[in-house]
Amino acid sequence: MSELSEVFKALADPTRLRILNLLLRSPFCVCELEETLGLPQPLLSRHLSYLRNRALVESWREGMRVNYKLNREHKYLNQLHAFLARASADDAIGRSDVAKLSKLPFGPAKVRPWGGGGGPPPPPPRIGG
């Protein structure tokens, strides 16, 4: 029961729900989440660390970038996936966050569904070089 309780504690925070809403769609680096959610990097990193410490997300480094994705092996997260996707779609802030993805430089081509692609996403295209 302790592990289940920790999952629900993680889901009890609106900022962490916003993060998970985006990670349901695709892996992202911290800078992409920061731009999409409009949150300061230290706050975002603290919430990502909280989610990582509960094994809900996984991270990897590519040079200076730290990327995050959902932990597809987490038993409770797998069971909650469909519910979280529906709940986020019904929420105005969740819909707004997803809409912002198409306006960012990395665009919707990078966004993959939950089951798509096993590895890290490609880096966004370099501008001017």
pTM above 0.85, yes or no: no
Read off the pLDDT of each residue in 58-71 and give the average, rounded to a whole number.
93
Structure tokens at 102: 């198409």
Note the CATH architecture for domain 2-100. Answer: Orthogonal Bundle (1.10)
What residues pair up with 36 in beta bridges, in sequence order? none
The per-residue pLDDT for range 92-109, each reduced to its tens digit, is: 999 999 999 877 776 544
Q: What three-state secondary structure class fits 87?
A: helix
The more confident residue out of 129 and 53 is: 53
| Contact partners, residue 9, CB within 8 Å, separation at least 6 | none
The per-residue pLDDT for range 18-38, each reduced to its tens digit, is: 999 999 999 999 999 999 999
**pLDDT score recorded for residue 103:** 79
| Contact partners, residue 125, CB within 8 Å, separation at least 6 | 105, 106
What residues pair up with 60 in beta bridges, in sequence order? 67
> Which of 69, 58, 56 shows the shortest CA–CA distance to 28?
69
